[in-house]
Amino acid sequence: MIEYQEDVSLFHLKSRDFSYILQVLDEGYVVHRYFGKKIKRFSPDNKITYQDRAFSPNPTSQDRTFSLDTLALEYSSNGLGDFRTATIEVRNAKGTALDLRYQGHRIFKGKKELADLPASFGSEDQVETLEVDLYDQLTDVTVTLSYSLFEETNFLARSALIQTGQQPIQLEKALSLTLDLPHKDFTIHSLTGRYGYEKEWTQTPLTQGKYSVASIRGASSHSRTPFIALADPATTEDQGDIYSAQLVYSGNFTAFAETTAIHTSRLGIGINDEHFSWQLEAHSQFQTPEALLTFTDQGFTGLTRDNQSFARQHIARGKWAQKERPILINNWEATYFHFTEDKILELAQSAKEAGIELFVLDDGWFGKRNSDTCSLGDWVENRDKLPSGLAGLGKKINDLGLDFGLWFEPEMVSEDSDLYRAHPDWAIQISGRGHTYSREQLVLDLSKQEVCDYLIEAVSTVLESAPISYVKWDMNRNITNIPEHQANHEKHEFYHRYILGLYRVLEELNRRFPDILFESCAGGGGRNDLGMLYYMPQAWASDNTDAIGRLSIQEGTGLIFPAISVGSHVSAVPNHQTGRVTPLATRGNVAMLGNLGYELDLHALPERKLDEIAQQVETYKSIRRTVQFGDYYRLKKTDNTYAYTYVNDDKSQVVFTFVKVLSQPEAPLIQVKLKGLDAEARYYSKELGASFYGDELMNIGITIPPVQKDYYSVQYIFHKQ
C-alpha cells in the first residue's frame, strides 16, 4: 500500500514486512527517510537532523547545515555537493551536474511495462506504483523515478526514465537506483565464482571504502551476479536484517556498497558505467533496467523465500512459469558431437524405459558440426548424422513417448560457416583489427537490426520444421572487439544495444512459440540472471555436473532463484569435469534438489543402474511439485555436510536431503533439525519405516546413519498422516 501524507510531502510504501519512506523537502530534493522493518506510521515530528559539516558544500549560503553530501538522496548526481558514487551523470554544454528537484508525482494501481526491457509484472491487485518526476532546469532533463510495490511478495521494483527537453545530452551513467542507509555496519553478500563454479555465496565485511561486483563481459557472467545484499553482521539463517538488491538485466552491470566519511552507506545497482554512454537527442528518453529491492528481518531463510517466490511469480512468464517441468535426458555428455540417429534413438528408448519425459538433442546436429570449430550460424540439420532430419527424428522420439527438444547457440558464428562466408560483417569486429577468438567462435552483432531479424527467422524456421517442445539457448563466449562503426559518440552504446537486440529476439520468439519451454545456458551459468529468467523460465546452472561440485553452486543459486528454474542433471562417473566418482544415489539426490535431468549414456548402463534411475525418476515425479513450488530451507551446515528440506503448500509432504562430503574417523553423530513442518502433525517416512511428530523433527531432528563412506547421502520423504 502506498500512502501519501500531503502536509509533509511524505510517501510511505508499506510492504508485507517492510516500510520504504521518501519525502520531498521544501527545497525540492527527494530524500530517503527509512527502509526497514514495517512500521505503522511515520510521525511528522520525525525530522531530519541537520549538522554543519566541514567540506560538505551547501546549495545556499544561508544554511551551512544543509548539504547534498550528507542527505540520503533518492537519485543523485555529482557536481553540486554530493561526493558519493553518483546515480546519474550527464554531459552537455552545461557541464556534468544535474540539480534534480521534485516536480510532481502519480500513484496508481498496477505497473507499466518497461520499454524493450524485461521487468517484473503483476495484476492491479498485486502491485501499486508511485512515479516521482525530478527536473533539472538548466539542462531541461526530467528523471521519472518509478517505485512499484509488490506488497504481498514483499518487493519494491525501482527504475528511472530519463527524458530530455530542448537540449541533447550525453548520458554517461544511469544506474537503476542508489539507496542511502544510515549506518555502515554490514556484511556484504554476493554471488561470485567462475566457469564450472558459479554462484559461490561470498561474504565480506563492508569496511571503509567501496566493494563492488561488476561485469564488462557483455553478459552478467559466471563470476559475478547482478545481486548484492547488506546484512547485519549477526544475521543467521532465521534472524537478522538484510537489504537486498537485484537487477533484471543480462549485460554489463555494477552493484556496489560504499561507506561515507560520516559512517553512512550507499548501495547502488544498474548498468555498468564503464564502457557505457548514450546519446540522447532533444525530446528523447532512456529507460534504465529495473532493480528489485527487498528487506527482511528473518535472516537468509526470509531472504531466500522472498527471492524465490518473487522470481517464480513475477519474473518467469508464460505457459511454463507455473507448470511442473519435464524430466529430461540430454545427450551432450553421453555422446558429445559423435552421434548417429540410431544412437540417439537408442538413448531415447532407454530414457523412455526409465520414465524420462523429454529428449534434448544438444550441440552437433547442424551444418558440419563434428567439433566446436565450425558451423555455428548454419542452423540446417546435418543429414549425414540425422538421415530422417529433425522432423523425422522428432517424430520417432515422439512415437517412443518422449517430447523432443533442441540445442541452439544463435548469438554466435563460426568463421568456418556459410553464414560467416555470406556475412563476414555480421560478426562483432573492429575494422582493420584481427578477431579475438574464444572457443574459436565469434559473436554476432545483435546491435544490428538486420542480424536480429535474421536470427528470429533462422531459429523460427527450425522450430517450425520439427515437433520441438523445448529449446536450450546457449551462449559460449563473451564479447570483445567492440566496433566503433557507428558515429563516434555512439561507441559506448554497443553493449546495451546488444542486450536490447537480444531481448527483442527473445521476446519475438516467446511470442511466436508460446508453447515451447526455453532453458537458458551460457556454458552453464554464464548469464544466469533475472533478465534471462523473464524470457526463459529455467537455466542450466553449471557445466559442472559433479554431484559434490554442484552442492555449493546450487546453494548459491538457491539464494535468489527457485529450484524449478535450476537445471540439474545426473551424469556419468568418473565425472567429466572433476574426475570424481560418486554413488548414483547421491548424484540423484543432489539433482533432485533442482529441476531433474540426466546427461549420460543410459543405453550403456548395466540393467540394475537403469532400474535405479527409473526408481529415481519415479521418486522425483512424486516430489516434483514440492521441490518446484514448495518452500526451501537450508538446514544446519558444516564444511563437510549439506542438508535441505522442501515443504509443500499445506505441509503434507516434506523432502529431506542430506549429503556428507568426506567420511571421517570416529566422526561425531550428525543430528539435523528439519524446518517448515506442521508442528502438530505426524509424519511418516517410507525410507525410515518410521513416524515422527513435526515438532520432534524440528526440535530434536533426525540422526544421520553413521556410514563410513565418502559422498554419502540420504533422501527421506515425509508424508503427513
Residues forming the site for ligand GLA (CB under 6 A): 332, 362-363, 372, 407, 474, 476, 521, 523-524, 540, 543
Cβ closer to ligand GLA: 332 or 644? 332
Distance CA 699, CA 238 (A): 14
Amino acid found at 675:
K
Cβ closer to ligand GLA: 136 or 543? 543
Of 662, 656, 654, the residue nearest 721 (C-alpha): 654
Distance CA 374, CA 421 (A): 12
Of 304, 288, 153, 172, the residue nearest 227 (C-alpha): 304
Q: Is-contact 508 456, C-beta < 8 A? A: yes
Any bridge partners for residue 205, and if so which? 187
Distance CA 357, CA 616 (A): 13
Least separation in angstroms between CB 340 and ligand GLA: 18
The reply to whether 45 belongs to the active site is no
Cβ closer to ligand GLA: 463 or 500? 463
Q: Is the dihedral of CA 696, 296, 268, 232 positive or negative?
A: negative
Catalytic residue among 474, 529, 546, 631: 474
Any bridge partners for residue 271, and if so which? 253
Least separation in angstroms between CB 416 and ligand GLA: 15
Cell 544475521, located at residue: 235
**Residue 488: DSSP 8-state:** G
Cβ closer to ligand GLA: 235 or 538? 538
Pairing of strands 412-414, 441-443: antiparallel
Distance CA 205, CA 190 (A): 11
Least separation in angstroms between CB 600 and ligand GLA: 13
Least separation in angstroms between CB 526 and ligand GLA: 8
- For residue 473, the Cα-to-chain-centroid distance in whole angstroms is 15
Catalytic residue among 136, 543, 546, 631: 543
CB proximity list for 246: less than 8 A, separation 6 or greater: 226, 227, 269, 291, 292, 307, 530, 560
Cβ closer to ligand GLA: 89 or 363? 363
Q: Is the dihedral of CA 365, 368, 372, 377 positive or negative?
A: negative
CB proximity list for 666: less than 8 A, separation 6 or greater: none
Cβ closer to ligand GLA: 220 or 715? 220
The reply to whether 7 belongs to the active site is no
Cβ closer to ligand GLA: 326 or 523? 523
Least separation in angstroms between CB 439 and ligand GLA: 8
Calculate Rg over the CA atoms of the chain: 27
Residues composing the chain: 721
**Residue 313: DSSP 8-state:** I
Distance CA 243, CA 237 (A): 14
Least separation in angstroms between CB 606 and ligand GLA: 26
Cβ closer to ligand GLA: 403 or 474? 474
Pairing of strands 358-361, 403-408: parallel
Least separation in angstroms between CB 565 and ligand GLA: 16
CB proximity list for 436: less than 8 A, separation 6 or greater: 480, 481
Nearest residue relative to ligand GLA (C-beta): 363
Cβ closer to ligand GLA: 119 or 541? 541
DSSP per residue, 278-312:
EEE-TT-EEEPPEEEEEEESBHHHHHHHHHHHHII
Least separation in angstroms between CB 69 and ligand GLA: 47
Least separation in angstroms between CB 516 and ligand GLA: 17
Instruction: Considering only the C-alpha atoms of the chain, give the largest distance between any 2 of them, rounded to a whole number of Å.
Output: 86
Question: Would you name the residues annotated as active-site residues?
Answer: 474, 543
